[in-house]
Amino acid sequence: MEDTHFTHWKKEVKPAVQSKKEEFHYMGYESVTEEEIWECVQARLKKKKIEPRLHALVDQILALSLNDFMTWLTIQSYKE
């Protein structure tokens, strides 16, 4: 689910995504991947119809809660 608006920022925000992944791993959710976090954040930004800006993207990554991520993951599993 690559969105062209966000694709060119993927490398720039990789440290934030890695940090969020480590946070989830620290909480005991070892199976969370960076790609899942990236897809979740993109889906949330599309849903909110937020203008694609780098600071908004970083904010969404760092503000992503485990509860929001698990809800998104559950919905994705139902869609499949």
pLDDT band per the 50, 70, 90 thresholds, residue 44? confident
Using only C-alpha atoms, what is the Rg of the chain? 12
| Predicted model pTM | 0.87
Average pLDDT, whole number, for the chain?
89
What is residue 45's predicted lDDT score, i.e. its pLDDT?
A: 85
pLDDT of residue 1 exceeding 50, the answer is: no
What span, in angstroms and rounded, lies between the C-alpha atoms of 11 and 64?
19
pLDDT of residue 53 exceeding 90, the answer is: no
pLDDT band per the 50, 70, 90 thresholds, residue 70? very high
